[in-house]
Structures are given as C-alpha cells and as structure tokens.
Structure 1
C-alpha cells in the first residue's frame, strides 16, 4: 500500500514540477507554455486530491472542494493550449476562464462541499465532467491535421508527438474519472505514467537539434508581413518554378531561402500564413503541376517515369501526392486530357 501511495503521489508531484518548468519557459517569452503550465497545474491539483483522499478518507473537505473545482479549468486550458499552435489570431482566453472561475466561486460559497456533499457528487461534479468532455471534443479539431499526417504516412514532427501526448493524456484522465467511482488508485498510477512519459519526451526533444520545439507558435508573433514584403516573396517564388528548383532531391526550406536570397524565417512565414500551407506541400504542388504538363504532352513515357521526371523519389509517393492534389490518378488525368 505504501509503495502504491508513493508512486501515485509522485505522479502528482512531478506534474507540479512540470507546471513550474513551463511557467519559467513562459516567462522567457514562450507564452503558449502558460496554458500548458496551468493545464498541468490544475491536473496535478485534481490528481493530488484523488491520491490523498484514497489513502486518507478523513481528508479535509476544503481540500476536496479545491481538488474537484480545479477540474473546471482542465478542459479550457487544454483547448487554449492546442488552439495556440493552430491559430495566429490572438486568443480570447478570458472568455474561457473567468466565467468558470466565477461560477465555481459562487457554487463554493453557497454550496460548500462539507455541507452539500450530495449536491457536489450528484450535480456539480457531473456538470464539471461534462464541461471537461465538451472541451476535449472541441479540442480534437486542433489535432486532426496530425491524424491526417498519420493517415497519409507523413513523418510527424516532435511537436506533433508532444501535442498528441498531451491530448490523449488529458482524455484518458477524464475517462478514468468518469468510468468508475473512486478510482483514485487508477488515476494515481495513470498520472505517474503520463507525467513520466512527458518528462522523457521533454528531455529527448530538448536535447534534439530541432530548436523550434515549444516555440513554433511564437516565431511569427508580432511580425506581420507588410504588403511590399509579400509581393517580393511572391515574385521570388517564381524563381523556383522557372528554374525548376523543386526537381532537386529533397529540396528543403533552407535551400529555397538561400536560392531566393531571403531569410528562412520570412519564407516560412509567407508560405504558412499567406499561402496557408506547409513548404513541403507547396513543393509537391509545383511537382504535380510539372507532372500534369508532362501527362498532357507525353504519350510514350510510362506513368512511373513521368513521376521521377517530376521530382518524386518513388512511384507510390507520386501516385499519393497526385491523387491528393487533383482528385485523380495520373492515368485517369491523362485519359481525361486526351479524350
């Protein structure tokens, strides 16, 4: 029993430490991490309440009320954190936080837990878990692009893995609380596993060469491209098409920036914010345009050879990209053109 308590409590304690870590990072201008820090904080408060209540049924009702009330902010902070990586629009975070703080303060004042346990367990707690569930569902839209990458067998960024881990960790914690009453020993073990996993990921990713990890949202903050810059980049991008630079094997953003004599930062911002796509998707579109021209003019070449001539490294990659962009297979496109 002591062994179980130790590992259960350790999960909550490590959650507090991670919360502090990301709060410090947030002070270093990685503002998105404020949401992550607060998410881990309220999760840790809730889990700590469960662990201590399970091993000490005489736990203060005031502490129980704080632990249960913390759940009201888990869903909103999950939503705000994931959305912060998917939108360049300034977040109206107060609309997702203050109303719930006000509601819980009023309920806590007029219906304190120690005097209204039945009300809390029958109504208030169910309402909190429902709200948590709703936010978990609407947060799903912000990780759908990652599922799309998995479906299309694209390589995931380290940030993709991290965001998936956060989302499913919070979702499984909600599931553990709602599927059975007083499952604190399960939640304690879950918290230890989840937080330990995050710590391992954190150290692996911090020591990697991908310097933009945890900072991908902030790199464009307060640096909107002016009209002259946008026009200049649009003009320079024509160089990639005219010189068919996209036919180079593994043509990268770094290479493109050097060829166009612009900074990698500016080029990336233009492609992401103005064109609304990733650099790799942009290059694939250029390749497909090349393939379409070949399909419209060359009859004696095999489809596979046309794919290689368009800059694709394999037949399967060519077919997948062509179908995704045009909605047709290369053969269907060629037949339709020569009808």
Structure 2
C-alpha cells in the first residue's frame, strides 16, 4: 500500500504515544520509589498517550481513510483521556509530597467529570445524529460548531489549566508547611518537580491559547502552529518527567503521620496558648543558642521544652507573626550580625554562616538581607567603618 500515513508533524505525537505507554508500564512493574505515586504517574502518562493518539487519528486523513473509515466511535470515545490525565497529575504530586496520603472516597470527587463523560458522548451523538457523527470525523467545522462539543473543549482546557495551577499551589503549600516545622529546608529538592509541573502548565495554557485563537479569530494557521509546538514540548516533558521521577524517588522531607501536623494558618488550641511560651522560647534560644543546630526541628524543640509542637507553632505564628523557619533564622541572623560587628579580623562569610547556624549560603544571604536590609558583606563593611 503506497500511501503516506504519517507526516512530519506526527513525529512528536507518535513519540508521546509510544513513550507514554512504555514509561507507564515501566512505572507499574518497577519497584523503586513510592508505589502509590508511581501508579498515579503511570495513569497520567497513559492518559497523555491516549490524548495524543486521539489527536493523531483525528488530524491524519490517511489514518482515517486507510485504517479507521469503518470505526466512527473511536474518534469520540478516546476524548475521555483529559478527564483522567488532569486529576492523576495532581494526585501524583500529592502522594509524592505527603508520606501519609491515602486515596479516599472523597478524592473520587475529582473524577466526577470522567464519570460524566459517557453522558456527554451520548448527548453529542444525539445532537449530531448518525449522519452527523460520520461527517464530523472529516468535517471539523461541523463538529466544532456543535455546542455540546464546545462544552467538551472548554472543560478540557479548564481541567488541564486548573489542575496545573492546583499542582503548583500544592507545591507552594507544602513548602510553607515545612517552614512551620523545619529550620533548614535546603535538603528538599523540589526544583525538578516545580519545573516539570510548571512546564506542563505552560503547555496546557499554550494549547488553551490556540483554542481561543481558533474560536475568536480566523487565524487558523497560528492556532495550528501553537498546537504543533505544544506537541513537541509535550514529548520533551514526558521524557523529563519520567527520568526525573525515577532519579528522585523522594523529595527530601516528607510529612508523615507519626509527626504532629501543623498547617500554615491553622491554630487549634489557640485559646489555651500560654502568653509566656514566647518568652520562654526566646530566653531558651538566647541562653542555650539552640538555633546553632542547623537541622533544628519543631519536634526537637518541643521535646526540649516539654511544650507541644502545635502550641509552639501557634505561639510563633500568632505572637511572633512568623513561621518556625523564619523564627529560628532570625536568631541566626542576629548571631551573624554580632560576629561581624565584634570581630576584628576579616572573616570569611562561609565561616560566619557556619558559626551562626546556617548550612546554606543562599538561605544565609536571603535571611540576612530580609532582616537587616543589607547583604552580609555590606554589613561587615559598615561595621568596619564604625570601629575605632
């Protein structure tokens, strides 16, 4: 059969299809990392592969006429993939971050759009009729002008962009939760996950833009260019997601059920907070300089003081108007400033950083600048000028 089936533009789509299914199988059989996270990632990849397959068979005339001319239903039924992909990425991120995350019945609410998909298809079939269903796979204008299909397109783009934003917010919230409990969060490697989630969000937003351009203007070529470039980026990020997820089986710190969970902005037992807690904490910090331990945690401080972690966190949040991370680093910055002020020698900033309890240069500089409005070097130079 001497017919061209695939075009050059199909190459990134084909890569997405085969790589997504291959990586999904690999994740399901591999015994590395967190099993639950791997399952969610595998379903996300399979959904991306099905979405790419749906796009390829619809936009490839050769495939339609050569292989699928008598299989009308496949052009409609594969469109369920987006309803699976969007929430499974969210649950992958959540299960990777939280050691105690267990998928519950409440989480099934995220898959209501997926459960309603058969109803959408039935309504679409009814509105198109038998002749319209057959014409719709070759005449995109007929399908595109159908109001029920437009509902699907809007839901598709909103789900992708919405869950992409939700994943980023989940990462931000996780980091804020860690700051409630740890004085050092440099061991957390969230950069790769943030970049990958952000990358998928950019791709989905890019595709949403192409849809809006096609919907509200006559620039079909621009929408097609954006769509094709989106396929290329999708292929790149599918590879990166799997490679990095298997190389980084853990994020760093994981919040597990054995620890007392302290949520940012949540202050239970607030009415029972002893106003002397902060005074006791401040005195303990000054006398014993607990902040010099670069890995000091809220739980360790609770063990030392005999005060519950939740009460300490609530006191720091409400009285000190800051989280545990900033509270400890405030003492470290004051210690560093004292070293720079009282030292007659020109000290290395790495030595000052270590002597003050910091083990990260970037955290040291950010915290110092935030509290003193100067860099450590600027502060050292100013302190040197004031000395006789």
The answer to whether TM tops 0.5 is yes
1:104 equivalenced with 2:132 (yes/no): no
Comparing 4-13 with 39-48, which one deviates more in the overlay?
Answer: 4-13
* Counterparts of 2:197 and 2:361, CA distance in 1: 36
What's 1:265 paired with? Answer: none
> Is the 8 Å Cα contact of residues 161 and 201 (structure 2) preserved in structure 1?
no
Map of 1:124 onto structure 2: 152
247, 250, 273: which one aligns with 1:213: 250
CA distance in 1, matches of 2:35, 2:107: 16
RMSD: 5.1
**Aligned counterpart, 2:15:** 10
Map 1:123-272 → 2, pairs under 5 A? 123-144=151-172, 157-176=188-207, 178-179=209-210, 180=223, 185-202=228-245, 205=247, 212-213=249-250, 217=254, 220=256, 222-224=257-259, 247=292, 251=294
| Structure 2: distance between partners of 1:303 and 1:109 | 80
**Preserved CA contact (<8 Å) 1:15 1:44:** yes
Report how far residue 94 of structure 1 moved.
Answer: 0.7
- How far apart, in 2, do the equivalents of 1:182 and 1:57 lie? 22
SS at match of 2:73: helix
Distance verdict in 2 for CA 1:71–1:15, change over 3 Å: same
1:45 positional shift: 0.8
Residue in structure 2 matched with residue 23 of structure 1 by the alignment: 28
Structure 1: how far apart are the matches of 2:80 and 2:345? 62
Kept in 1: contact 2:51–2:78 (CA 8 A): yes
Q: Distance in 1 between matches of 2:366 and 2:252?
A: 31
Pair 1:65-2:64 in alignment: no
The one of 77, 88, 94 equivalent to 2:88 is 77
1:47 is displaced (CA, Å) by: 0.9
Q: Could you report, residue by residue, the CA deviation over 1:67-107 in whole angstroms, capped at 9, with x for unpaired residues?
A: 3222123332233333444556656321111x212321211
CA 1:38/1:282 → structure 2, altered by over 3 Å: closer, same or farther?
Answer: farther
The Cα shift of 1:122 comes to 2.9
Structure 1 counterpart of 2:107, from 93, 101, 113: 93
In the TM superposition, residue 14 of structure 1 has moved relative to its aligned partner by: 0.6
Shift of 1:27: 10
Give distance in 1, aligned partners of 2:28 and 2:121: 27
How many residue pairs get aligned? The number is 290
Determine the C-alpha separation between the residues in 1 that align with 2:243 and 2:43: 20
Q: CA deviation at 1:162?
A: 3.1
The answer on whether the counterparts of 1:79 and 1:138 sit within 8 Å (CA) in structure 2 is yes
Partner of 2:332: 287
Structure 2, unmatched stretches of 5+, are 1-5, 137-142, 177-184, 211-222, 262-282, 304-308, 384-388
Give how far 1:224 is off.
4.5
Distance 1:142 1:126 in 2: 24
- Deviation per CA, 1:25-61, whole angstroms, max 9, x where unpaired? 5898521333222222211111111123222344544
Is the contact made by 2:12 and 2:231 (CA closer than 8 Å) also made in structure 1? yes
